[in-house]
Structure 1
Amino acid sequence: MKRFLPLLMVFATTNAVAQPADTSAAQHQLFQLEDVFQLEYASQPAVHPDGSYTVFVRNYMDIMSDRRLGNLWRVDHQGEMRPLTGGVANDHSPTWSPDGSVLAFVSNRTGSNQIHLYWTDTRDHAPMTRLTGSPSQLTWSPDGQWLAFTMFTPQQKSAPVKLPGKPKGANWAEPAIYIDKDNYRFDGAGYAADGYTQIYVVPAAGGTPRQLTHDEFNHGGQLTWTGDSKHIIFSANRRDDAFHQPNNSELYQVSVTDGAIVQLTDRNGPDRSPQVSPDGKKLAWLGYDDGYMSYQLTHLYVMELDGKSSPKLLTADLDYAVANVKWSADSKGVYYSFDREGKGVIAYQTLTGERRELTDAMGGLSYTRPYSGGTYDVSKHGDLVYTLAHPYRPADLMLQAGTATRQLTQLNEDALAHKTLGRVEEIWYDSQHGDYKIQGWIAYPPNFDPQQKYPLILEIHGGPHTAYAGSFAAEIQLMAANGYVVLYTNPRGSTSYGEKFAQEIHHNYPSKDYTDLMDGVDAVIAKGFIDEQRLYVTGGSGGGVLTAWTVSHTDRFAAAVVAKPVINWYSFVLTADSYNYFSKYWFPGKPWEHQEHYMKYSPISYVGQVKTPTMLLTGDADYRTPISETEQYYQALKLAGVKTAMVRVPDAPHGIANRPSNLMAKVAYILHWFNEHAEQK
């Protein structure tokens, strides 16, 4: 209990600051911290093979366990819903058998993650495995006889040292831990156990899972079966020097009979997400030729599985990264998605090159901050079911049949319909440097009056190669509900604006993206309703980098909150989980070979210029931007005489908001810091 005391205290103190002491009905109509636990959203739609209904995960926030959980629901194409599973459990990854009689999914409802089956005729469901690890990537064989999946498989290794002389019953310290793995810890997973991710198959009728791959490589990612149900195609980096080529995976196929592995692709760059066509003759997948850039477009390829023709690039003319590939039922074309200017597009393309965009409304899965990204499924008739991006609701499901559309779910009307949310407006503004228009959004306080003056929060996205969208975001709405105008934009380096736009910050970050952000602030101030004495800035991860960079390059902001930042690129590369990737793709070489370059773009180099009161906020278990980065900046700011504070979120990884109470704490601390410095500039 003691370790959580600082977090609990903030709700007693910060709510009094962030929320006016007003218990009126009008106050309760605003979106408040505790409302986070009322949010739901739809994800992972799986259309039944006959096309008549869709099973999806109905995600909810469990207030007792402080976790996001989910049950499986079905919705027909008239919008009638019913539950398939219930209770306090995390059910996910629904996958239909080829004939639609059985649904496989993963659930922890028996105490550990196991594969479960749901039978449509009896509406019963039950676990079919007793695995010692967590299965993922469930995939049915075309004949319906097998399920393939991946699972981390421990590989026991004895410690090289064993201490002598321990008396029986003696209470010695825990033994020292010996680590010699290349990548030894991962954000969200902690220190890596000895072992590898391997591929398994299990009979659909139940039985003993059988391990197909055994080599000392990770065989993760999407699986797909060949049409004869005799082989499984997967992606892996099976090179002996995989550590030094972290982006160089290939496609392989493994025989279900004897485990023999055959390599299908060979090039410098990633090949992943394979999908065999329904007729079993063709293979689609994603990848690109590696140019060692910090951002590179993912393209779509197709080839004949008989090996008689070369791979064909289908998206050479598309300046956006492709994802979520699915074959049409007749094997004559593929569906895929991409983000363009913050919108999720689903397209269909024939193998001869004709492309049709079907919708640009997909998104909504990132309910905490307004990131782009969504998912969809498609029926054999070509009907789409996708997650809907909406500025005032987390993801619902939308059906598109031909040119007709129908919203299938309204999961948050009970929680949000009676709330007065901040209005969200899309804006475009000019960049001072370069011939670009920059996209952004303004969230206005509820009951906004343009004749008044409001404080402004600039909220900066992470990545840096990600993008914000016009989607619901709990953090943004909470800030707006507390009387702030909130600006969030997609500066240079953001995705969904083409490869050149994203690569503007290659080996040059932060730099031009900072000027784009300041141009956005100026554009909002020009509208006439911003109090320039009450400007605030915050951001997480890459946004934390830019926030720290901002306060060292201007003193226009009254206060700043730097969340889970990188402060020193030199130390970051040598402590982050994916250090072999960052040093190879984000920088011209290793830190000691390019010390001047690393330090030129490190906020720590400019700490002597900071005058802005700056709070830092990071999870204790963050291995992506380790908390040592935060500690460096905290101590540097103290030495520089800058008012600062540090918030450490116990046990939280890089995704601080994975637990609802941590999302609440994050926003509460940000509002506390800004409110505290409202009159001090």
Structure 2
Amino acid sequence: MRLSLTGLLTGSATLLAFAGVATAQDVNPLQLDDVFAIEIAADPQIHQNGEEIVFVRRSMNRNNDRTEGRLWRVSSDGSDLRPLTDGSGNESSPSWSPDYERLAFVSSASGSSQIHIRWQDSGHSSVISDLQHAPSNISWSPDGEWLAFSMFTPEQQSNPVNLPGRPQGADWADSPVYVDRLNYRADGAGYLPQGFRHIYLLPAEGGTPRQLTSGDHHHSGEISWAPDGSALYFSADRSDDPRKELARSEIYRMDIESTELTQLTDRNGPDSSPKVSPSGRQIAFLGYDDRRLAHQANRLYVMDADGSNVRNLTEDLDRHVSSFEWAADGRGIYFMYDDQGQGKLALQPLRGVAETLTDRVGGLSYSRPYTGGQFSVASDGNLVFTQMASNRPAELALLRGSQATQITNINRDFLAKRDIGEVEEFWYDSSVDDQRIQGWIMYPPGFDDSKEYPMILEIHGGPHTAYGPVFAMELQLMAAQGYVVLYTNPRGSTSYGEDFANLIHHNYPSEDYNDLMDGVDHVVERGFINEDELFIMGGSGGGVLTAWSIGHTDRFAAAAVVNPVINWYSFVLTADMYNYFTQYWFPGMPWDNLEHYMKHSPISYVGNVSTPTILFTGESDHRTPISETEQYYQALQLRGVESAMVRVPGASHALHARPSNLMAKPAYAVYWFEKFRTTNNED
């Protein structure tokens, strides 16, 4: 049976609070369709003078149920906020020309994703490409005459079998699809056409793009130019057998005139994101030595332009470097990393110790409180970054020296009419081995510590990701219904070092479950939680841990298991990244390690489950296929455990991609939890 979201919202008395019933008379909590009110300031690009910033203003379109981006600008003092385009298409990836007189960006205004140019003097924008597939990683040549970019390039593939006897105009079934590739589908993209990503060159005034790379290899990621415009630097996996060298890529130099390739790095591991120094004498890049661990952190390297003299600049920093930019004088590199759930921005001299500049970078993950942000540096050293906060999505902030100032406030209309749940950080010790675990409590608006509240433990996915003190619409919508929401970073989470993340290497789930239960105990001991109204939910890796938890305890009144893995054996043979999972998450292939796979599979403990459980998964999820959800639902039904399954048509693993699904997930969770609240049952 397919449940109707419309019927749920209009017909369920338990969700009346979403329609306007507040938790206290003087509180105005979030409502479900407030998802269409939130906005995100993303992808800032600062002018070299440090006085103007172009950024992408993302909002939720109520009519087409999608997130859309528009190019806006703002002055560094927060004034003169205005749009740069007419908003007729979805826009992304702004990039200043070297003279800062033009702005390249990607827009769908012409009907498909194409490269557009905006002239700053006239304010006129025009499409300059006619591409068959969406471009990415746009990079200006130093003289501003060319644009390099990467694009998927299809290859013709004919079926090896041709069936005879089809009359002209006959209505036959579609031809069978012949697949003989290692990776043939991807979550969010579906079944993939045959082809590879290649690098192209396009005149900045428009014209026909020239394909620079070739072969059966992917060339993707950032593209950097030599200062004289004679060469490009990029990363690619050109190994002979991707099955054996899955996490390998190298840095290459391509001579533009001859298209001759020179390989600059050579090691067992992924080297990526090359950026040439202002002088052209050095190249910075990210990478690590592959040790076949589930989590391996990127380090920041620098080498001479010919590939010699490679140095690890962040050898002493046990954190994952996510992005970086050269300082204008070439003497240092600005880089971003997560530490204890917070996004940090630092300046690393080529010789010396890194200096932390801010710890508030983030705010782009508006659905759940994941870490991750963006920044841009002006020639004078001023920085603009996406600033995180627990009570709003990302806004832009300008960093001058050590002083950060928020310069956009695009969510002020949304915040003016709603009360947002406050978030409190806390730490506790794991009962397993005294590991220090970080967590956060989200309080419902109007919280009164003299009362008892129901509590939801919400578990992050990954499992090698991290939550932080970041705005999270899904969790806030549940807090708005009077629930205390607990979220933590158990062992396996990133931003605490490789050792902490790899405590679950070939051992997941395991003691991360204990870390979660210890967090629940810690909050319950504070005295404002009704122990009979404890609930648990999580998505992806959090769905795994939710299903695992209810197979090991009956302390929760109900559970919501979202796009989970239930059976590791079936998962690695149906997921899109099956070649990665089998090599990095497990000690070997499932048929050689049956006991190991099943020991860590929640399906092995379904016989212990008595917790009422709802499952929620996209029907087009190729990362954790819905067959995993179906296994668990049918097992629960066979056992007579009260259960329900919600199938989301057309949704991939990124359930929040459509605003209506962002509403649906917390709505169904609250609907289910309300059914099993003791206070409701007593009425």
Q: Verify the 8 A CA contact 2:532 2:557 in the aligned structure 1.
A: yes
Distance 1:45 1:15 in 2: 44
Q: Percent identity?
A: 55
Deviations 1:495-520 (A, max 9, x none): 00111110100000001110000000
Aligned residue in 1 for 2:255:
255
Give CA-to-partner distance per residue, 1:464-483, whole Å, 9 cap, x none. 00000101110111011001
How far off is 1:39 after superposition? 0.6
Deviation at 1:21, TM superposition (A): 6.7
Pairwise CA distance, 1:49: 2.0
Deviation at 1:220, TM superposition (A): 1.1
Which whole-Å CA distance do the structure 2 matches of 1:296 and 1:404 have between them? 33
- Partner residue in 2 for 1:13: 11
C-alpha distance in structure 1 between counterparts of 2:180 and 2:42, whole Å: 39
> How far apart are the structure 2 equivalents of 1:598 and 1:306?
45
CA distance, structure 1, for counterparts of residue 559 and residue 277 of structure 2: 51
Residue 210 (structure 1) aligned with residue 210 (structure 2): yes
Which one-letter code corresponds to 1:251 in the other structure? I
What's the TM-score once normalised by structure 1's chain length?
0.98
Shift of 1:16: 4.8
Secondary structure of the structure 2 residue equivalent to 1:221: strand
Aligned to 2:445: 446
**Separation in 2, partners of 1:389, 1:640:** 45
Conservation of the 8 A alpha-carbon contact between 1:49 and 1:98: no
Equivalent in the alignment of 1:370: 369
Please say if residues 4 and 650 of structure 1, whose CA atoms lie closer than 8 Å, have aligned partners that are also in contact: no
Q: For residue 463 of structure 1, what is the aligned residue in structure 2?
A: 462
Tell me, in whole angstroms, the C-alpha distance in 2 between the residues paired with 1:21 and 1:561.
22
1:670, distance to aligned residue in structure 2 (A): 0.6
Query: What does 1:206-245 correspond to in 2, within 5 Å?
Result: 206-245=206-245
1:22 deviates by 5.1
Residues 365 and 14 of structure 1: CA distance in aligned 2, closer, same or farther (over 3 Å) = farther
Tell me, yes or no, if structure 1 residue 268 matches structure 2 residue 268: yes
What 5-or-longer segments of structure 2 have no aligned partner? none
Partner of 2:111: 111
CA 1:501–1:204: 2 relative to 1, 3 Å = same
The answer as to whether partners of 1:72 and 1:86 remain within 8 angstroms in 2 is: no
Answer yes or no: is the 8 Å Cα contact 1:18–1:675 preserved in 2.
Answer: no
SS at match of 1:428: strand
State the distance in 1 between where 2:404 and 2:589 align. 52
Q: Deviations over 1:280-304 (max 9, x none)?
A: 1110000001110001121011011
TM superposition shift of 1:176: 1.0
Describe the shift of the 1:428–1:61 C-alpha distance in structure 2 as closer, same or farther (beyond 3 A): same
CA distance in 2, matches of 1:433, 1:376: 39
Q: CA deviation at 1:357?
A: 0.5
In the aligned structure 1, how far is the partner of 2:264 from the partner of 2:306?
11
For 1:502-581, list aligned pairs within 5 A: 502-581=501-580
Counterpart of 1:350 in structure 2 is 349
* CA distance in structure 1 between the aligned counterparts of 2:577 and 2:304, rounded to whole angstroms: 35
TM-score norm. by structure 2 comes to: 0.97
Q: Write the distance in 2 (CA, Å) between the matches of 1:13 and 1:187.
A: 33
Q: Residue in 1 aligned with 2:157?
A: 157
- Aligned match of 1:610: 609
Residues 360-394 of structure 1, C-alpha deviations (whole Å, 9 max, x = no match): 01010000000011110011111110001101010
What SS does the aligned partner of 1:536 have? strand
Letter in structure 1 aligned against 2:224: T
Quote the Cα distance in structure 2 between the aligned partners of 1:512 and 1:586: 16
* Structure 2 residue 99 is matched with structure 1 residue 99: yes
Distance 1:627 1:91 in 2: 32
Number of equivalences: 678
Q: Please give the secondary structure, in 1, of the residue aligned with 2:504.
A: coil
User: Secondary structure of the residue that 1:504 maps to in structure 2?
Assistant: helix
**Cα offsets for 1:452-472 (capped at 9, x unmatched):** 110000000000000001011
Look up the match of 1:293.
Answer: 293
Contact 1:55 1:94 in 2 (8 A): yes
Matches of 2:616 and 2:462, distance apart in 1: 17
Aligned AA (1:401): R
> Which amino acid in the other structure matches residue 10 of structure 1?
L
Q: Is the 8 A contact 1:365 1:395 kept in 2?
A: yes
For 1:434 and 1:188, the matched residues in 2 are separated by 39
- Write out aligned runs for 1:459-498 (5 A): 459-498=458-497
Retained in 1: the 8 A contact 2:429–2:435?
A: yes
Q: Which amino acid aligns with 1:331?
A: G
Cα separation, 2, equivalents of 1:482 and 1:505: 34
Residue in structure 2 matched with residue 86 of structure 1 by the alignment = 86
CA distance in 2 between partners of 1:18 and 1:576 (Å): 38
Question: Does the CA contact (< 8 Å) of 2:9 and 2:15 recur in 1?
Answer: no
**8 Å Cα contact 1:7/1:649 also seen in 2:** no
- 8 Å CA contact 1:227–1:281 kept in 2: the answer is no
Report the AA paired with residue 110 of structure 1.
Answer: S
Distance 2:260 2:362 in 1: 40
Counterpart contact for 2:387–2:397, Cα < 8 Å: yes
In structure 2, distance between residues paired with 1:298 and 1:20: 43
C-alpha displacement of 1:435: 2.8
Deviations 1:40-90 (A, max 9, x none): 010000011222211000000000010000111111111011110132421
Residue by residue over 1:91-110, the C-alpha shift from the partner in whole angstroms, topping out at 9 and shown as x without a partner, is 11000111101110001111
| Contact kept? 1:15, 1:668, Cα under 8 Å | no
- Is the Cα–Cα contact under 8 Å of residues 244 and 580 in structure 1 kept in the other structure? no
In structure 2, C-alpha distance between the alignment counterparts of 1:20 and 1:219, rounded to whole Å: 47
Q: 1:310 Cα shift?
A: 2.0
Aligned partners of 1:471, 1:420: CA distance in 2, in Å?
Answer: 16
Shift in alpha-carbon separation, 1:179–1:51, aligned structure 2, 3 A: same
Equivalents in 2 of 1:310, 1:633: separation in Å? 53
Question: Could you tell me which residue of structure 2 aligns to residue 637 of structure 1?
Answer: 636
Q: Which amino acid aligns with 1:605?
A: S
- CA deviation vs aligned residue, 1:254-284 (integer Å, no higher than 9, x gap): 2221222111100001101111111111100
| Other-structure match for 2:181 | 181
Q: Secondary structure at the match of 1:58?
A: strand
What residue ranges of structure 1 are gaps of 5+ in the alignment?
none
Please name the residue that 2:426 is paired with: 427
